[in-house]
A and B are shown apart, each in its own frame.
Chain A
């Protein structure tokens, strides 16, 4: 489900790449500090995006740091963290743990249950601290599971459930901007869910796995592009409503270009880098 909200590396400057990497590393460190080393495995680019977005909106104080890192032991890395990074780290664990539990419920694979155990107490602590987000997360995940079991073919309903989850996660605190953030999160959440369904459609048809798009036309058809652009249009509209001036190029790179990476790789694997609009 996650992994679509990424950068298009080739279109970012060295400075922008560094800033993004420092955000990602900072998120990794926050995860380690707050939920232990293993929780770093839950790190996603999607929550890196959220960190960048919320940090640009709230401009919380950044704590800068540098040092070796477990993945890059020979090269000194630099990173920054803020209250926003800490929040995104907590949300990462909420989502990661739920994903494990969801996999366990779906496949009854004991490996998933085993993997979830170290995170259980962190999840409980975070869920208690953020009841608004965790209640919506648990409720909508349960409903999504139910839809899958029923085989319900309603892409809007399924995407909307995931949209609800992202909507709440996008809202760091209830304030003047929560409504806009909620709508942006809703739209991006629907996009993520739908992109995942589009990318997996062919495979799901063969394996018989659940996919709410099975009764709509074939995945390569341009209709899916229309749906995805419609949802991204909503996302960037609400992003544009936010008074953000920092890291705008990185955010736009992600929303206008990076999000299409997997789609392009799957459906246009031999394409040269091309201008949008063709």
Chain B
């Protein structure tokens, strides 16, 4: 992009998220191709505006994920992306020198080679009664790269539970929990509270008379 994204959107560098979105909307109303069918440059202009908006949102995400606090950018995109190296660090190299099961070695090499399903297949050869923290750690890594969020988080938790002093396991678990942490801070930041446990029925009924569906997929009037 040639121009500064903030200039394209017409906002200052310390604009709030709402201001950025409002600026985008105002520009979109003006320049959207649907509203300017006779303008050959409308699509190009709209692309610029879209790209500027994304650049600012990306920039905010990067700023916050560098440890400047959890706001709109605390989101953990790394565990589901291909950019993260799970085996960075001296711990891994030291570990490799000790004797370990062939299944673990195979899984490790598969993960490094980005063959995650093969890694899981190798690990499945270990009977469940013999699975160590290392097994759960490797399984968590492979699962996270495959997008298996639940298994990844659960296995990381078990690995930490079995070996609480292992910093690699702690780091993995912390990283996988980041989305949950982001959600909590997002919720708190928006002053949202949990619904009260005993008020479900009133929250489902929009009017004082019964509404047509409470559970979805039902075919009988409820309430």
Contacts and interface: CB of A to CB of B under 8 A. Distances in A.
B192 A256 contact: yes
Contact of B194 (A9, A21, A71, A273): A273
Interface string B8-23: 0000000001101110
Interface of B: 17-18, 20-22, 24-25, 28-29, 47, 50, 53-54, 57, 72, 75-77, 143, 147-151, 153-154, 157, 176-184, 186-188, 190, 192-200, 202-204, 206-207, 209-219
A2 B215 contact: yes
Among B72, B179, B194, B217, chain A packs the most CB atoms within 10 A around the CB of: B194
A176 B50 contact: yes
A148 interface: no
Which 3 A-B residue pairs are closest in the complex by CB-CB distance?
A2-B216, A233-B179, A233-B183
Contact of B202 (A9, A229, A241): A9
A246 B108 CA distance: 48
Interface stretch (A123-131, A133-141, A155-163): A155-163
Contact of A234 (B179, B190, B192, B196): B179
Interface of A: 1-3, 6-11, 17, 20-21, 24, 28, 40-46, 59, 71-72, 75, 96, 99, 115, 154-157, 159-160, 176, 190, 194, 216, 223, 226-227, 229-234, 236-237, 240-241, 243-245, 252-253, 256-258, 260-262, 264-265, 267-277
- Name the prevailing secondary structure of the B interface residues: helix
Nearest to A5: B216
A29 to B, nearest CB: 12
B180 A233 contact: yes
Contact of B209 (A1, A71, A230, A275): A71
